[in-house]
Amino acid sequence: QNEIYNAGLQGILPDYPVDFATLEARAHEALGPMMTNYVAGGCGDEHTQDTNARAFHHWGMIPRMMVDCSERDLSIELFGMTLPSPLFMAPIGLNGEATQDRHGDMAAARASAMTGVPLCVSTLGNDPMEDVFEACGDTPAFFQLYTPRNRELATSLIQRAEKSGAKAIVVTLDTWLTGWRPRDLNASNFPQLRGKVMQNYFTDPVFRSMLDKPPEEDPKAAIFLFAAIFGQVLTWEDMAFFKSVTDLPIVLKGICHAEDVKKAIDHGADAIYCSNHGGRQANGGIATIDLLGDVVEAAGDLPVLFDSGIRSGTDAVKALAMGARAVGVGRPYTYGLAIGGAEGAAWVLRSILAEADLLMAVNGYPSLAAVRGAGVRRTG
Ligand code: FNR
């Protein structure tokens, strides 16, 4: 993992940024104003979003000495698989638009294949999920579901993912409608993107059967139908439906409250995904890293996935120390896609991993069990 840093010390400097601020600045330039507003934006005055990242600063780790850290093991067990690292790529809708060719989903899948970091494929993709899953190669991938109001269509999306080799269904709970995002309303050409990002719907046999004419002939009607059936308000009773249509593990994304963790366990969830959607849905919230400890405690043996605010390897190690099984990288890898396609996204993931690995080495944590054992301390 240290190749990046060691090469840099020898004067072989990377083509891509190694810190988030530079990455973000370069990505915004590459994305242009409309996509920048979409990716960088959050809801309200973006307080929750800012807090997510800043809150990592008031958690700290204490190093241990005289521990043999010459080899570090960053592998994890998840859904019966051994994965080489604790990172995954969080689901990002419209990733397709992050690259010039508008096939950013395929580039993300190639980055996944290159790094072994699983991709959570979003419902809102520019490319049909079958193609994206295939491009992930041997790296396992997950499917994120925005549950449509039509049960037959929801079943079809889940089962297409299962057939394509998805290893888990990640049901997003916090987005049956979109939060108040001022930047969306200011980015006047945002709606033009919409037709393109519905390929998972447009290629779906159930969705197509609900239209008079195929989406290629009458895109307006297809977009109208998409919008009309996009978001199902979910309650705990819906868990029985998800469990009845797939054998894959069901991961519930958006859970931040210990009582909801208990309910998720009672209703048969296979994993908890602690996230506040990167501050894009509800403003006035609490940074997810500040809630993770409670979620982990309530989850017991159930794996907890985590995202919102991860910007570096150090952030990732802190979340792991607090008990997350796996850590989702969101905006940073989309920025990687923007500045260098698959290679750029792979670079971002490898940099985060390299920093995490080096931190474990100098902190005397040879394994993720040691990281968790060391824990973090609140400093402010
Ligand atoms: C998202 N997120 C998201 N989540 C989801 O379940 N389905 C989706 O399609 C999307 N789309 C999406 C687009 C963009 C541009 C962003 C930034 C985020 C939320 C995502 O999975 C994750 O929770 C956040 O990105 C985490 O916050 P940070 O770390 O990226 O700030």
> Is residue 146 classed as helix, strand or coil in its secondary structure?
coil
Rounded CA separation 140/118 (Å): 6
Rounded CA separation 356/80 (Å): 24
Number of domains in the chain: 1
Residue 67 lies in a domain: no
pLDDT value at position 75? 98
Q: Tell how far the Cα of 362 is from the centroid of ligand 1, in angstroms.
A: 31
161 Cβ inside 6 Å of ligand 1: no
Does 277 qualify as catalytic in the annotation?
A: yes
Rounded CA separation 310/90 (Å): 11
Residue 275 lies in a domain: yes
Residue 66 lies in a domain: no
Closest CA to 110 of 123, 95, 124, 75: 95
Among protein residues, the one with the nearest Cα to ligand 1's atom 18 is: 92
Closest-lying ligand 1 atom to the alpha carbon of residue 307: 26
| pLDDT tens figures, 158-180 | 999 999 999 999 999 999 998 99
92 Cβ inside 6 Å of ligand 1: yes
Q: Tell how far the Cα of 343 is from the centroid of ligand 1, in angstroms.
A: 20
Residue 82 belongs to domain with CATH number: 3.20.20.70
pLDDT value at position 328? 99
pLDDT value at position 157? 98
| pLDDT tens figures, 78-96 | 999 999 999 999 999 999 9
ipTM for this model: 1.00
pLDDT value at position 10? 86
Query: Which parts of the chain sit beneath pLDDT 50?
Result: none
Beta bridge partners of 306: 274, 327
pLDDT value at position 198? 87
Q: Are 376 and 334 in contact (CB under 8 A)?
A: no
181 Cβ inside 6 Å of ligand 1: no
Residue 350 lies in a domain: yes
Residue 68 lies in a domain: no
Beta bridge partners of 83: 76
Residue 65 lies in a domain: no
Residues of the domain holding 94 = 3-59+73-375
Verdict on whether the full-model pTM lies above 0.95: yes
Residue 64 lies in a domain: no
Rounded CA separation 356/68 (Å): 17
- Our measurement of the distance from residue 159's CA atom to the centroid of its chain's CA atoms, rounded to an integer in Å, reads 21
